[in-house]
Amino acid sequence: MGLSTKTLTVLKYNDAKLELVSEIKFKQTENLLDLLNAHKIGISQSCGGFASCTTCRIFVTKGLQYIKPREDLEAERAQERNFTEQERLACQIELPVEAATDFEIIIANPTED
Ligand code: FES
């Protein structure tokens, strides 16, 4: 498989309007929370990435079909909180660089810088 680069478009709500936060390029499969942190995108992460706080919740609005289904911990949180299919924990998902599409997410709990 050849080298490929993917783009992650990051959005958040500003009042009721969607606002572009960043467009991140990545060249290898990345944990989503790590990728956001590496680019200094403000996102809540109270438990430090252990699938317990759910503050890193995001909505995957593009590319969801290339992200692996929830594993046990994330599935438990999702059930407790009635997450929709698109609603995932950034700390628990990986964005595969070999996906046939770019990715887009909306951050549910952004923080200032
Ligand atoms: S950082 Fe707490 S669930 Fe992801």
Pocket of ligand 1 from Cβ distances under 6 Å:
45-47, 49-56, 89, 91
Within a domain: 19: yes
pLDDT digits (tens, 9 = 90+) for 14-36: 989 999 999 999 999 999 999 99
56, 80, 93, best to mutate for ligand 1 pocket (most atoms within 8 Å of CB): 56
Ligand 1 atom closest to residue 54's alpha carbon, by position in its atom list: 3
User: What's the structural domain count of the chain?
Assistant: 1
- Domain holding 46: CATH number? 3.10.20.30
| 8 A C-beta contact, residue 20 and residue 9 | yes
Within a domain: 1: no
Distances (CA, A) of 50 to 2, 63, 89, 100: 33, 23, 10, 29
Mean of the per-residue pLDDT values of the chain = 95
pLDDT digits (tens, 9 = 90+) for 65-87: 999 999 999 999 999 999 999 99
| Residue 113 binned pLDDT confidence (cut-offs 50, 70, 90) | low
Within a domain: 10: yes
Ligand 1 atom closest to residue 90's alpha carbon, by position in its atom list: 4
Within a domain: 112: no
Q: Which residues does residue 8 pair with via DSSP β-bridges, in sequence order?
A: 24, 103
Within a domain: 59: yes
**Mean pLDDT computed over 50-62:** 97
Ligand 1 atom closest to residue 56's alpha carbon, by position in its atom list: 4
Q: How far is the CA of 44 from the centre of ligand 1 (A)?
A: 8
Q: How far is the CA of 19 from the centre of ligand 1 (A)?
A: 23
| Closest-CA residue to 18 (of 51, 56, 62) | 62
Residue 103's domain comprises 6-107
Within a domain: 88: yes
Within a domain: 30: yes
Distance CA(30)–CA(101), nearest Å, equals 15
CA triple 105-110-112, angle to 5 deg: 135
pLDDT at 4: 87
Distance CA(54)–CA(57), nearest Å, equals 6
